[in-house]
């Protein structure tokens, strides 16, 4: 039996969501080993090959594994498969290069297993790949054409510890037919046309409770994520895969703790550049469409209007600092990373809980000077404090281990609560933000302290 992923067609006033049904790999129940131990050589032929991709905190969208489905369960009887038994190559952009195989194991589903002793007897063979390979990327400016881009060949027999043949090596290579991206695949693709005819594409996550009982009285928070300038495109994908600003709010463990709608709009090409400082979310057409989309969605779905949150990075944070003063009673709180804006408008948002962060050595959006003549986060937070909102400040390294990073955040939050402050500002020490000093957001959305704080706020 095959399972259809949770994607629904959502029709809203002013716009229509078009969702295609996507057929996933067989369910775990269907792939579980049959009663009784199968014959060791009974795995049979490979039936389907699927790439497994992942949106990582710092390295964007990567191909992290290959899942091969066999006709019968694979039972190693306690044995292990050496990575050298399989060769994987990627054909991308006219270039062919090998991928590094790190682990191989059977599983009951087309998914990776993070446990040290991964997998269990099942019809899937999982070949994990090193995400740091130079050719591991799944996208450039746009998603790469990954279907049938990967070739897998078995170069050594796989046997049980007793010597029984499980999978035989051979000269034939198989290519992937499918690509799955956990969490990303759970966000419905749609578009919204505003009252002026301007269209915004978006992706939407709908909480499981709403999907199960759409008529229930429960109302859910709404998280609106504003992407950076690099994700302006017509693919309705890179606002999810260039970073984890949207994905982290839709992942299962986060939804179990904070069930919410997650709305991730994308600014279309050609880049709307009519905003007062040449950015995107400040473009009047984009801003108008975004506000109408949020308002329409709030009336069409069980959204708690007192718990609508704005989250954005880079020009998305610029969008936050531009949008909040214009709609000071719409949003309950905001997370703004590496942004810039107009200090003269900060007096309009002194009542709104904000947690901002920025790398001190950011060369793209300078910490103090900002961009396009509009100051950066340091200057904005000073202006916010001068307008009457006490700021609780902290500085630490951006590359701290998660536990220590969250401990620093918790201490900052506790200090804010003791002083009655609802505006927090985290600065990252120069030289500590990996990949690029501009990418200050890598730990922001993985930080449970910050996210718990966000969902605690209500208008």
Identify the pLDDT of residue 42: 53
Two structure tokens written together for 353: 């809980």
CA atoms within 13 A on the CB side of 116: 0
Q: What is the DSSP string of 9-68?
A: --EETTEE------B-SPPHHHHSPPSSPPPTTTT-SEEEEEEEEEEETTTEEEEEEEEE
Position of tokens 């170069």?
155
User: Which CATH number describes the domain made up of 184-456?
Assistant: 3.40.50.1820
Dist. CA 238–CA 141, nearest whole Å:
8
Query: pLDDT tens digit string along 412-439?
Result: 999 999 999 999 999 999 999 999 999 9
CB 234 within 8 A of CB 268: yes
E strand map for 282-332: 303-313
CA neighbor of 108 nearest in space, from 55, 65, 70, 52: 70
Dist. CA 435–CA 275, nearest whole Å:
29
Query: pLDDT tens digit string along 250-309?
Result: 999 999 999 999 999 999 999 887 777 888 999 999 999 999 999 999 999 999 999 999
Identify the pLDDT of residue 6: 40
Q: In Å, how far from its chain's centre is CA 114? A: 18
CB 367 within 8 A of CB 358: yes
Per cent of the chain over pLDDT 90 is 85
pLDDT score of 409 more than 60: yes
369 CB-near residues (< 8 Å, 6+ apart):
375, 376, 379
Query: Could you report how far apart the first and last alpha carbons of the chain are, in Å?
Result: 46
pLDDT score of 41 more than 90: no
- Fold held by 32-180: Immunoglobulin-like (2.60.40)
CB 305 within 8 A of CB 331: no
What is the rounded average pLDDT of the residues 46-75? 95
What is the rounded average pLDDT of the residues 40-63? 87
Identify the pLDDT of residue 431: 98
What is the rounded average pLDDT of the residues 125-142? 94
User: If you average pLDDT over every residue of the chain, what do you get?
Assistant: 90
Two structure tokens written together for 12: 């809203």
Identify the pLDDT of residue 398: 97
pLDDT score of 26 more than 60: no
Three-point CA angle 344, 246, 140, nearest 5°: 100
Peptide bond into 270 cis (omega under 30): yes
Query: pLDDT tens digit string along 170-220?
Result: 999 999 999 999 999 999 999 999 999 999 999 999 999 999 999 899 999
Residue spans of the domains in the chain: they are: 32-180, 184-456
Identify the pLDDT of residue 65: 98
Domains 32-180 and 184-456 share a fold: no
């Amino acid at each position: 039996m095959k399972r259809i992923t949770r994607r629904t067609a959502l029709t809203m006033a002013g716009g229509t969501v078009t969702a295609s049904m996507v057929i996933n790999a067989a369910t775990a129940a269907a792939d579980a080993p049959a009663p009784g131990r199968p014959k060791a050589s009974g795995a049979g032929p490979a039936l389907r090959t699927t790439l497994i991709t992942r949106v990582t905190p710092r390295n964007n969208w990567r191909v992290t594994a290959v899942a091969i489905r066999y006709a019968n369960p694979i039972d190693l009887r306690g044995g292990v498969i050496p990575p050298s038994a399989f060769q994987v190559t990627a054909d991308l952009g006219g270039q062919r290069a090998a991928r590094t195989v790190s682990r191989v194991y059977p599983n009951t589903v087309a998914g990776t297993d993070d446990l040290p002793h991964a997998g269990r007897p099942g019809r899937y063979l999982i070949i994990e790949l090193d995400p740091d390979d130079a050719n591991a990327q799944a996208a450039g400016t746009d998603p790469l054409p990954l279907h049938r881009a990967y070739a897998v060949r078995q170069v050594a027999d796989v046997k049980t510890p007793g010597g029984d043949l499980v999978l035989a090596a051979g000269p034939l290579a198989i290519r992937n037919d499918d690509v799955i991206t956990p969490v990303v695949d759970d966000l419905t693709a749609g578009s919204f046309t505003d009252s002026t005819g301007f269209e915004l594409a978006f992706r939407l996550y709908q909480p499981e409770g709403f999907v199960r009982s759409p008529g229930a009285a429960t109302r859910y928070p709404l998280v609106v994520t504003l992407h950076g300038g690099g994700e302006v495109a017509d693919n309705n994908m890179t606002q999810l895969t260039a970073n984890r600003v949207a994905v982290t709010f839709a992942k299962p463990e986060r939804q179990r703790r904070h069930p919410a709608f997650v709305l991730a709009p994308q600014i279309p090409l050609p880049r709307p550049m009519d905003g007062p400082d040449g950015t995107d979310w400040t473009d009047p057409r984009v801003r108008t469409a975004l506000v109408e989309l949020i308002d329409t969605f709030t009336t069409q779905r069980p959204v708690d209007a007192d718990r609508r949150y704005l989250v954005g990075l880079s020009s998305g944070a610029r969008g936050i600092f531009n949008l909040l003063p214009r709609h000071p009673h719409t949003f309950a709180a905001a997370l703004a990373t590496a942004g810039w804006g107009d200090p003269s408008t900060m007096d309009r948002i002194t009542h709104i809980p904000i947690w901002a962060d920025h790398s001190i050595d950011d060369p793209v959006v300078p910490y103090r000077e900002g961009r396009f003549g509009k100051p950066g986060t340091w200057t904005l937070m000073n202006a916010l404090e001068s307008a009457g909102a006490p700021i609780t400040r902290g500085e630490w390294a951006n590359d701290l281990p998660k536990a220590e990073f969250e401990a620093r955040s918790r201490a900052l939050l506790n200090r804010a609560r003791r002083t009655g402050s609802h505006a927090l500002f985290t600065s990252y020490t120069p030289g500590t933000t990996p990949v690029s000093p501009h990418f200050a957001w890598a730990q922001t959305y993985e930080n449970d302290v910050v996210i718990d704080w966000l969902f605690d706020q209500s208008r």
